[in-house]
Structure 1
Amino acid sequence: MDFKVAVIGAGFGGVCAGVKLKEQLKLSNFTIYEKSYDVGGTWHLNTYPGCACDVESHLYSFSFQQKPDWTEAYASQPEIHQYLRTVVKDRGLTDHVQFGTEVVKLAWDGRKNVWHLSLKIKDKAGNVRLEETTANVVIGAVGPLHRPHYPEIPGFKDFKGKLMHTAEWDNKVDLKGKRVAVIGNGASGAQVVPELAPIVDKLTVFQRTASWISPRNNFRHSGILKFMFRYVPFLQRFWRFCLYVRRDILWYNAFKSGSPIARLLSHMLRSYLKQEIPDDALRAKLTPDYDPGCKRIVVSDAYLPAMRHPSTRLVTESIVEITPNGIMTSDKERHDLDVIVVATGFLVQESFNGVEVIGKDGLTLQRRWSDSLEAYLGMTVSEFPNLYFLMGPHTGLGHSSVITMIECQMNHITQLLKKQILSSAATLTVRPSALKAFEAEMDGGTKDKVWQLGHCQSWYKNSSGRITALWPYSVFYYWWRTRSVRWADYELQ
């Protein structure tokens, strides 16, 4: 059986897929399609000042390729990006990655039992050509953080100054001495604001909803610690394990509404806010009106101090429109600006909408997911044979490292593919009954979580208020569920 696998995306998910296909399944006939010209995914695309991870470096990395010499406890974008480049080189994946290639359409062929892939290939000169290819299996590793979200504010196109999203940063723009606005105060906004405050003439932060801020407690790894991690491998594995256990027990239970740890977390965050912002009026604006965890908690040592910086002004009045010269707010004030930075995150609920997917009997994935995202174990959907997702619905985390989730998913997928290859089965599909039971389990898991009970708007929820982005249990439980295959939940033909 000439078994070919197509992987969409060369971020953490796509790289992990390549490693597992090559090393666990001994497959050589696979291609990783990447629309950019470098690996890294979100860590290649996001180059804004201050871009970094809010999960510890030793946990936000592959278990099969640990890095003993991380510079800091929380790695920055350049170091994470270089780490992924190193993994690709060390694991011999370079020749498997096809850069400048965007998969725009997947169509299932029920007669030949293959996926038809429509590719848009763009070279560095800007020339575009279309190609078609096929694959027995497709692994979608596009990730949830790659389609920038712009708020619905009129006038974006009218602004005469420089406007850029944090995910589309223009490093050629000199911001020194400029009048700069940052729209948004989530994870990316909280990282870019401290970098801008010391260098701009005036920094105006437009906040729609306050975010809870947790101290990062970042520190540089000493030479002795790096030496010990390199030459005493057990120590690094133990360090990683401790980070994992702390997050899976403390942080996970902090999101159970009304739990003792949740109350302790609320007290700690309020105390931190009071410590960093002594001004009562400013602190009142920066205090959220919902429980911690309802929206993503921002992890930063620098954001609150930056809000005290002489150049910084916090505006909580809503934005009415973008004008040619700046921003007008609901109090009729005009804010004259040279640069507008949009830091409003990504279209998480629509992350796979960039690819048209047509399954059995002409059913599109977009139609299937029109009411609510769903996937068994976050990986497979009935009516879409031989199609897998990495970091699909229900597999995001609010408390730990998604790299662990990706590895669990690929370990599960390789078991499925091994069975399919050995049995010469043309298709493997999750049974609708198994998918339905899994979705009920997901809904049950969110009932006691602050994401559902906290009465706030977040990217965790879909338009109807259902939690579809997050895994509602511990990471350990996800490992337990994916460590072996429940073959009764799948259909091989």
Structure 2
Amino acid sequence: MTGDKPWPQVLVGNKDHTSAAVVIIGAGISGICTAISLLQSSPPINNIIILEKSTGLGGTWRDNKYPGCCCDVWSHLYSFSFEQNSDWTREYPGQEEILRYLVSVAAKYNIWPLIRFGTQVETMTWDESTNEWNVAVRVTSSKDAEFGEEYTINTDYVVSAVGQLNVPRMPDIEGLDEFKGKVMHSARWDWGYSLKDKKVAIIGNGATAAQIIPEIVKEVGSLTIHQRTPNWIIPRADAPISGWKRSLYKWVPPVRWRKRSDMMDFREAFYDAVTDNESAFAKMLEDSHRVLMKSQLAGREELWKKLEPNYKVGCKRVIISDDYFPVFNRSNVRLETGSIDRITSAGITTDGTTEDYDLIILATGFRTVEFMHPITITGKNGRTLKDVWKEGGQALYGVTIESMPNFGMLYGPNTNLGHNSIILMIEAQAKYIAGMVSEVVKARSEGGSLSVTPRSERVERFNEEIQEELQRSSFADANCNSWYKRKDNGKITQNWSRNVVDYQKLLSKIDWSDFDLEGTVAAEFNDGGKESTHLGRVREESLVSYQTMGYTVLGLAAVGVGAVLRNSGRLRLR
């Protein structure tokens, strides 16, 4: 080991290249947040390796760089609470600005030295004799591979920060490989290919397609949009943030904090709209869709019918866009709602009719229900993750998995949101995982051992509870399919069943009775009375209402006026 600090505070060096206290898989938002939480632990945990298969950090915000790529959560809310950015240029951030933000955060907190780029995890195996994970990796960067194409890292704890929007999902359409033109998945965009005057088809019409389409119609010769099912669409109301506002957010932080709280409050209220399709908020969203559609496509009744969903709002991701509907007013755009029969060498056959294309864009999403694909994971007693999840992904609080000791994950099963910023969930998960890691490495640093595995009965009870809640939600609507649930059994494996504040409170402490604890220090928890560890949470919802603030301001103003009058009276008496 290098440096003069005690382990695990010392950084991983050349001599211990294949050993670390913690291995984090992924250098996106989750990986960066987890590393910061560990570095800020008490005492700090610096003995970290971050494995990133790409050649740069950013995760989904590095992979997705298609035209129009942006976030559907306000910029001031789609950022870390501990590293708020006063200089966002738009109300909704674009991909490039988000990536620049993540790069700056990684630089500020000195994350870069921890990352091994171009390094793909192949397998993970729990070694019960050493209480460690053996993480086998393959080096994909050609230069670094010259030093060794494969090696295994021994680590006390593994954190998965690979996320859900990671591996592109290719559509199961006959003949896709036969197409002689250009094929691009939205997450693998080729900016070297010119769209000018090309005849283009896009398969998919979800959130990604709704961002791509308004951008490329300005350049392509023609565009056919293959729609399987329509989506609920509501106004975005995006706008630039002026320089004076950015200055205000920077130099008067309480204004920025209040803005973020307002956003948090509103998006939490949005929860009813996406989970209860009979709520007033849900009906308001449906009405908003119709008003927007009919105003932007005035007199186009034939399109209204095709563009209005037959399922309740919230079952699928609600799309936020100001410029999707207007594309159908263009002469070079055609909406195709027929079924795709196959793809030929020259184009797409739909309901028996073949149309030739230069380019086919696949806006078909990701392999979301296959968490951590394609890594092979073998845990306690030789049990594989594939076996544990044969009925679908599930985890205790979406973080820890049955039969997988000393393992935590972010953005795992049932932690996705349909109403608020996922970063609010990720921060809570990072703090929770850091709390468990601290106990594991503390035991190791003192010459002992500790393994932490969620109790199978606790995992089952928790998941039965949230699945029951989810089956009563809009996500379970039988009239639509979505990436929120499995096709084989309908189990909703992606979404959280409650709101963000509920989740943050749930993860504000570690209840050690949730876990099977083994190792030389396990008795301290099992018999020693250490029942829980308090972590706390970042409270960002409004503490004080605007009404209360108004009364306070008026009260202070009255006091101030009274003081001025009293002082002026004294002056006159003198």
TM-score band, normalised by shorter chain:
over 0.9
1:23 aligns with 2:44: no
Q: What does residue 57 of structure 1 align with?
A: 75
| 1:356-395 correspondence to structure 2 within 5 Å | 356-395=376-415
Tell me if the contact between 2:156 and 2:440 (Cα under 8 Å) persists in the aligned partners.
Answer: no
The amino acid across from 2:36 in the alignment is V
1: CA distance between counterparts of 2:275 and 2:458?
A: 27
Q: Identify which of 42, 62, 82 aligns with 2:100.
A: 82
CA contact (8 A) 1:198 1:311 kept: no
Equivalent of 2:458 in 434, 443, 461? 434
The whole-number CA distance in structure 2 between the counterparts of 1:221 and 1:454 is: 41
Superposition map of 1:158-307 within 5 A: 158-278=178-298, 279-307=300-328
Taking the aligned partners of 1:127 and 1:200, their CA distance within structure 2 comes to 41
The structural deviation recorded for 1:453 is: 3.1
SS in 2 for 1:348: coil
Q: State the Cα distance separating 1:127 from its structure 2 match.
A: 5.2
SS at match of 1:31: strand
2:402 & 2:223 partners in 1: Cα distance? 50
1:473 aligned to which of 498, 504, 520? 498
Cα distance in structure 1, aligned partners of 2:313 and 2:290: 10
Taking the aligned partners of 1:22 and 1:252, their CA distance within structure 2 comes to 37
Question: Residue 147 of structure 1 contacts residue 351 of structure 1 at CA under 8 Å; is this kept in 2?
Answer: no
1:490 to 515, 524, 532: 515
From 50, 54, 77, give the equivalent of 1:36: 54
Alpha-carbon distance, 1:126 to partner: 9.2
Q: How many angstroms apart in 2 are the aligned matches of 1:20 and 1:486?
A: 19
Letter in 1 for 2:192: K
| CA distance in structure 1 between the aligned counterparts of 2:355 and 2:216, rounded to whole angstroms | 17
CA-CA distance at 1:255 after TM superposition: 2.4
**Are positions 1:323 and 2:347 aligned together?**
no
Report if the CA contact (8 A) 2:272-2:279 is conserved: no
Q: Helix, strand or coil: the match of 1:350?
A: coil
**Superposed displacement of residue 469, structure 1:** 0.2
CA contact (8 A) 1:257 1:448 kept: no
Q: Which amino acid aligns with 2:362?
A: V
Q: Distance in 2 between matches of 1:280 and 1:192?
A: 25
Question: What is the CA distance between 1:262 and its match in structure 2?
Answer: 1.7
Q: Quick check: 167-176 or 449-458, which moved more?
A: 449-458
How far apart, in 1, do the equivalents of 2:228 and 2:254 lie? Answer: 46
- CA offsets, 1:232-290, max 9 Å, x none? 11111111111011011134444213122222222222222222222011121111111
Q: Is the CA contact (8 Å cut-off) linking 2:273 and 2:313 kept in structure 1?
A: no
- Picking from 16, 19, 22, the partner of 1:5 is 22
Contact kept, 8 Å, 2:429 with 2:507, in 1: the verdict is: yes
SS in 1 for 2:509: coil
Task: Spell out, residue by residue over 1:279-303, the C-alpha distance to the aligned partner (whole angstroms, 9 max, x if none).
Answer: 0111211111111111111111111
For residues 36 and 304 of structure 1, what CA distance do their matches in structure 2 show?
Answer: 35
Q: TM-score, normalised by structure 1?
A: 0.97
Alignment of 1:376-455 (within 5 A): 376-423=396-443, 424-453=448-477, 455=479
Q: 1:399-445, CA deviations, whole angstroms, 9 ceiling, x for partnerless residues?
A: 11101100000111122222333454420111112111110221122
Q: CA deviation at 1:125?
A: 5.6
Match of 1:116 in 2: 134
Measure how far apart 1:353 and its partner are.
1.9
Relative distance call for 1:127 and 1:254 in structure 2 (3 A) is closer
Counterparts of 1:410 and 1:38, CA distance in 2: 21
CA distance in 2, matches of 1:292, 1:38: 37
TM-score (norm 2): 0.84
Aligned partner of 1:301: which letter? Answer: D
Could you say what secondary structure the match of 1:132 adopts?
strand
SS at 1:479 equivalent: helix
Q: Hey, what does 1:102 align to over in structure 2? A: 120
1:458 Cα shift?
Answer: 0.6
Contact 1:431 1:489 in 2 (8 A): yes
Q: Label 1:215 to 1:448 Cα distance change in 2 as closer, same or farther (>3 A).
A: same
Rounded Cα–Cα distance in structure 2 between residues aligned with 1:53 and 1:254: 18
Identity of matched residues, %: 36
RMSD: 1.4
Query: Would the aligned equivalents of 1:178 and 1:202 in 2 still touch at CA under 8 Å?
Result: yes
Contact 1:145 1:351 (8 Å CA) reproduced: no
Distance 2:274 2:119 in 1: 42
1:291 and 1:454 in contact (8 A); partners too: no
In structure 2, the CA distance between the partners of 1:351 and 1:431, relative to structure 1 (3 Å rule), is: closer
Distance in 2, matches of 1:434 and 1:308, equals 54
Deviation of the 1:336 alpha carbon: 1.1
Superposition deviation, residue 222 in structure 1: 0.7
Q: Is the 8 A contact 1:58 1:240 kept in 2?
A: yes
Residues of 2 paired with 1:187 and 1:84: CA distance? 22
Considering Cα pairs closer than 8 Å and 6+ residues apart, tell me whether 1 or 2 has the greater RCO.
1
The corresponding residue for 1:310 is 331
Higher CA-based Rg: 2
Q: Which amino acid aligns with 2:22?
A: V
C-alpha distance in structure 1 between counterparts of 2:144 and 2:257, whole Å:
45
Q: How many angstroms does 1:38 deviate by?
A: 0.5
Going from structure 1 to structure 2, the CA distance change for 1:90 and 1:131 (only over 3 Å counts) comes to same
